[in-house]
């Protein structure tokens, strides 16, 4: 190829081709044109969707049912799903919703959430623990059975002095007694109307829980002292009593005041002293007096030979009063001073009396059996009996 042809061909390429800057500019112009077209199409689609949603909202607002309640429980799953269906027409959640029977639902209190109410049970138990009854000083055990057995060694081992060469003789073997404490059911069944529970300005259920607690406390306190053991605990005063000089296992020993229905007017405090020292030394260290308020009022006036009161009040708030240095538990179910009455007891009740109970307290809320009333059925299983007859002594207001 000649130099003339080469120059001509080169001149023709330079005049027909585009420079790199021009090519980039042309490409960008085409891209922007396509993007603007895409953006316009998207805006058009969004506008159509918005118009469709507005139309659906207007239809929903027009056909919506009136509210059934001013205060809707938004925590209930079925109510959340139904509200979503009304607002958007989405029924997918409704299809997958698991329906629960009313009596088995715990998500809504009025539909079964109070079948077992732990808050009520806690409140009842706390009041029982703080009630002034024999359980305050007795041995309290929790059991998961229908009864509780206490094993007691009622006799001593025989022993004797031996010499080096003499044959050793057989000695007495201790005897073991078994005391079975059966658990009995304590129950209460108050009721209130559903309308009262819904519209009351204060906590009706909390108030009923307090009333149930008071009933339980008074019923068991009386049974621990004088219960006959028939469908209730056996009280320690229900056991037979004998003069302490002839006491044997299975009965409670007593000290007589020497006067029927009263203290000896010449030396009234001697009976209190005799009662304290009738109890064995191993029990006396943990001894507690038990009497009611009327008896405490009479004992409160007693003085020793030097004119000092036998009774001393507690030095701190909540500390029990003391008689001859031993604490006094004022239990109103103890009998009054009367002819032949054992109005004062003294002993180590932690060793002498055992309270056995199941740890759970059940509260059943029953809105169906007594419509339109709601029944609150509370039950507690508890038992009690003397576990060591040597640990309790009585003061009997009699001549002998």
Judged against a pLDDT cut of 80, whether residue 369 lies above it is answered with yes
Measured CA distances, 116 to 213, 229, 304, 362, 377 (Å): 16, 29, 56, 7, 10
Please indicate, yes or no, whether residues 378 and 340 belong to a single structural domain of this protein: no
Domain count, the chain: 2
Question: Among the ranges 53-62, 156-165, 266-275, which has the highest mean pLDDT value?
Answer: 266-275
pLDDT in tens, 9-35: 444 444 456 788 888 888 888 888 888
What is the rounded distance in angstroms from the CA atom of residue 196 to the CA atom of residue 145?
39
In a domain, 187, yes or no: yes
Burial class (CB in 10 A: 0-12, 13-18, 19+), 294: middle
Question: Could you give the percent of the chain with pLDDT greater than 70?
Answer: 77
In a domain, 202, yes or no: yes
pLDDT in tens, 150-188: 888 877 787 878 887 778 788 887 778 889 999 999 998
Please indicate, yes or no, whether residues 198 and 280 belong to a single structural domain of this protein: no
In a domain, 75, yes or no: no
Please indicate, yes or no, whether residues 199 and 278 belong to a single structural domain of this protein: no
Judged against a pLDDT cut of 70, whether residue 6 lies above it is answered with no
Token pair, residue 311, equals 């009774």
Collect all residues with Cβ–Cβ distance below 8 Å to 268 and sequence separation of at least 6: 302
What is the rounded distance in angstroms from the CA atom of residue 236 to the CA atom of residue 333?
12
pLDDT in tens, 208-254: 877 887 888 899 999 999 999 999 999 999 999 999 999 999 999 99
Mean pLDDT of the chain: 81
Pick from 253, 334, 254: which is nearest to 291 by CA?
334
Give the torsion sign (CA, 378, 126, 360, 392): negative
User: What's the pLDDT band for 116 if we cut at 50, 70, 90?
Assistant: very low
**Cross-strand partners of 178:** 151
The pLDDT of residue 208: 80
pTM: 0.65
Domain of 216, in residue numbers: 118-153+174-233+363-386
Please indicate, yes or no, whether residues 222 and 190 belong to a single structural domain of this protein: yes
What is the rounded distance in angstroms from the CA atom of residue 262 to the CA atom of residue 274?
15
**CB-CB contact of 136 with 349 (8 Å):** no
Please indicate, yes or no, whether residues 258 and 228 belong to a single structural domain of this protein: no
């Amino acid at each position: 190829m000649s130099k003339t042809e080469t120059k001509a061909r080169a001149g023709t390429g330079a005049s027909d081709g585009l420079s790199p800057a021009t090519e980039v500019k042309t490409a960008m112009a085409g891209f922007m044109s396509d993007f603007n077209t895409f953006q316009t199409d998207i805006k058009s689609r969004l506008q159509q969707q918005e118009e469709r949603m507005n139309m659906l909202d207007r239809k929903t607002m027009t056909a919506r049912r009136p509210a059934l309640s001013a205060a809707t429980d938004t925590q209930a799953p079925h109510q959340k799903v139904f509200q979503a269906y009304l607002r958007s027409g989405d029924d997918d959640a409704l299809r997958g919703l698991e329906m629960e029977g009313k009596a088995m639902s715990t998500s809504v209190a009025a539909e079964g959430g109070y079948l077992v109410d732990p808050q009520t049970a806690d409140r009842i138990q706390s009041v029982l623990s703080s009630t002034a009854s024999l359980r305050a000083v007795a041995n309290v055990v929790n059991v998961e059975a229908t009864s509780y057995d206490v094993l007691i060694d009622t006799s001593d081992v025989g022993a004797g002095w031996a010499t080096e060469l003499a044959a050793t003789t057989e000695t007495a073997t201790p005897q073991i007694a078994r005391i079975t404490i059966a658990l009995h059911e304590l129950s209460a069944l108050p009721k209130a109307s559903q309308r009262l529970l819904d519209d009351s300005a204060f906590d009706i259920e909390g108030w009923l829980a307090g009333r149930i607690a008071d009933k339980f406390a008074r019923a068991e306190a009386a049974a621990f002292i004088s219960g006959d053991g028939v469908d209730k605990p056996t009280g320690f005063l229900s056991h037979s009593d004998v003069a302490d000089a002839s006491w044997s296992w299975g009965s409670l020993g007593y000290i007589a005041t020497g006067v029927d229905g009263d203290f000896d007017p010449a030396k009234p405090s001697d009976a209190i002293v005799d009662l304290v020292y009738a109890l064995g030394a191993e029990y006396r260290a943990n001894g507690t007096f038990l009497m009611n308020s009327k008896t405490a009022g009479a004992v409160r006036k007693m003085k020793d030979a030097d004119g000092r009161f036998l009774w001393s009040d507690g030095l701190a708030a909540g500390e029990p009063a003391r008689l001859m240095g031993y604490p006094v538990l004022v239990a109103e179910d103890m009998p009054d001073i009367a002819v032949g009455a054992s109005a004062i007891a003294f002993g180590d009740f932690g060793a002498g009396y055992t309270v056995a109970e199941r740890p759970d307290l059940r509260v059943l809320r029953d809105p169906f059996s007594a419509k339109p009333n709601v029944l609150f059925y509370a039950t507690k299983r508890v038992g009690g009996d003397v576990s060591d007859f040597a640990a309790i002594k009585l003061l009997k207001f009699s001549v002998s």
